[in-house]
Every structure is written in structure tokens, then in C-alpha cells.
A = this chain, B = another copy of it.
Amino acid sequence: MSVPLVEIVRSGFVEGCHHGSVVALDADGTVAWSLGEVSTPILPRSANKPLQALGMLGLGLDLPPELLALACASHSGEPEHVATAAGVLAKLGLDAGALECGTQWPSREPVLRGMVARGEMATPLHNNCSGKHSGFVCVACLMARQAGAEPIEFVRGYVAAEHAVMREVSAALSATTGVDVDHAPRGTDGCSIPTFALPLRSLALAFARCGTGQGLSDGHARAARRLRQAAAVAPFMVGGTDRFDTRVMQAYGERLFCKIGAEGVYCAALPELGLGIALKVDDGAARAAEAAMAAVAQALLRIEDELLRGYSHLQLRNWRGINVGSLRPAQALSQALAP
């Protein structure tokens, strides 16, 4: 059974609650603490992008830090994200037409409004997954060259589970999580690639391994280190203006290597503690996933500042800007995190 993780409080009255589960464990799989159902498979969605990026690096993808950070991103479609993804494709002689992630308007509202005001249209480059997909396209071109195939032909259909690129990316998921994803339930993700059902504890294990290198092949350990450093050097690329992942990695660098996923999933590595964290909010609310991750990070890293507290106790304002309440960790979570 999942447990209450985050409450919604309005004028002192508990108006609602988000249920979910969370686990923190080390690279040996030893659970530091957990709440709820952590052995039941869930769909990790974009929270596993760093693990997929690990697979791409293992295949020989070699990009500067900001592009590696973008490959791990669920970005807000801001001009820097779009231009960077476009640049990756341009070097291959390709454009947005090569991307199979679908078109999405920027989630950053001022950016979206600017585009609308200028009469511009969204493209697949604005899709929050365009960095990862640009990486997939790079890898496909690499593999095509190695196989002596025509790159453009080889790239096409890269989102399919059976495509050579996706098979290698999936193999990295299996290697890092310890779950054979070929035998896991599979869903189609928002960006059309497969997403494999994995227990939270397996996801947390993969992040503990990425944070420490323990339990990974030498190649994956090196790749994990590069990705952590890339996200710390270019945190804007992982999310964007005012985004949780970006703000906390700007503040704490490699201390908190974190990634949000759709439908309430969050994963993180805390290298200094040797821990990986994975959580799922049952109902899929991002506000609750961020609040829970902020509460966990504050407690485990012993950080007391306004940044993380601003998420764990997110202030709620009404249409006149009046403070009408906040989120806060539910009793089950705050007790579990108490020193």
C-alpha cells in the first residue's frame, strides 16, 4: 500500500493529500529507509533518462557537457534548449524532421506566449524530450556508419523497441537496474519510445550505482560520472528557468543528481551518501513529486535553506496573489525523515 506523502493545506485546513511510495538505498541494494510499495513495478517515464543517456554514452556518443545534460533533460522548450538540440542535428546534416518525439509547445509559459505573439509554431525541437531524441539520432548515425548503412535510412523508426538504438538503450536500463527489461511490462511513453515497468527499489539502485560507480561496468561508471558532471555544469539544459532539477543542481551541483518523470516519478543520486532515491506519487502530480523529493533531499543531505523548503512547503496563492496555504510533507513522510 502506498502512504500519504504530501498534504495540501488551505488556511490551516488539510484540503487534500497525495499518496505514493519512496525508497532510498545504497549501491549494494541495502535499503536506508522506505515508505509504501517499493517492490511493485511502476513506469519510470522520463525519470530514467539519465540511465538511457548512459546507454548512449556506452555506444560511443561523445558530446560536450551541455549536450550531455540536454540528453538527460525534460526541458521547458526555451530558446537555448531548442538551439542546442538543433545544433546537434545540424552537425549530422539533419533537422527537426529526424525527430520522432512529436511536437509539443514549450512548457515555459512566457516562451510559449512569445512564440504565439510572433506567430511562430512549435516543432519537435520544442518537445521536452528533444535533447534525448537528438542523442538517439546521433547514436543511430554512429551505428549506421559502423554498419556501413545509409544514416538517414538507419535513423528512421529509432523509437521502436526493436530498433538497434533502442535495444542498446534498453540493455543499459537492464544493466543498471538489474531488471531484465525484455521481460518487463512495457508502455509507450509520451515521446513514443518504450518505457519499462520497474520496481522503485530497482530504479533507486540504478541511481545509487550512477552516483557511486559501484556495480556498474567500467564504461558505464565512467559514463555516469560524465553525466553527473555535465548536469552539474549545465543544469539549465536539464530543465530550464525555475525548474526544480535546474535550480537544485545550480545550488548543489553534483551533491544531488536528480531527474523528474511524468506521472509523479522522481529519481536522484546522492553521491556523498552513496544513496539512490526513487519515488512515485500515485496520482501523477508533479507538485507532489517535487515536494516529496525536496523533503527527502533536505533531510538526507541536512540542507536547511529556502530553495528546497520552497518546494516541500510550496506556497499556494490565489488569483489576487493572496497566500492561501501550502503543500507540506504528510506525517508518514516527515516521521520517516526525522533524524
Contacts and interface: CB of A to CB of B under 8 A. Distances in A.
A87 to B, nearest CB: 22
A322 B101 contact: no
Interface residues of A, number: 49
Query: How often does this chain occur in the complex, in copies?
Result: 2
A113 interface: yes
Given A8-B263, A116-B116, A187-B324, A284 B16 contact: yes
Contact of A42 (B12, B15, B103): B15
- Give the dominant DSSP class at A's interface: loop
A328 interface: no
A10 interface: yes
A156 interface: no
Interface in A22-62: 41-43
Given A100-B320, A102-B320, A16 B127 contact: no
Contacts of A325: 187
Interface string A214-246: 000000000000000000000000000000000
Nearest to A127: B319
A90 B117 CA distance: 31
Nearest to A103: B319
Contact of A283 (B189, B195, B288, B322): B288
Given A11-B186, A116-B116, A187-B324, A16 B318 contact: no
A119 interface: yes
7 contacts: A8-B263, A12-B185, A13-B41, A15-B284, A116-B117, A127-B319, A190-B324
Interface of A: 8, 10-13, 15-19, 41-43, 100-104, 113, 116-117, 119, 127, 185-192, 195, 197, 263-264, 280-285, 288, 318-322, 324-325
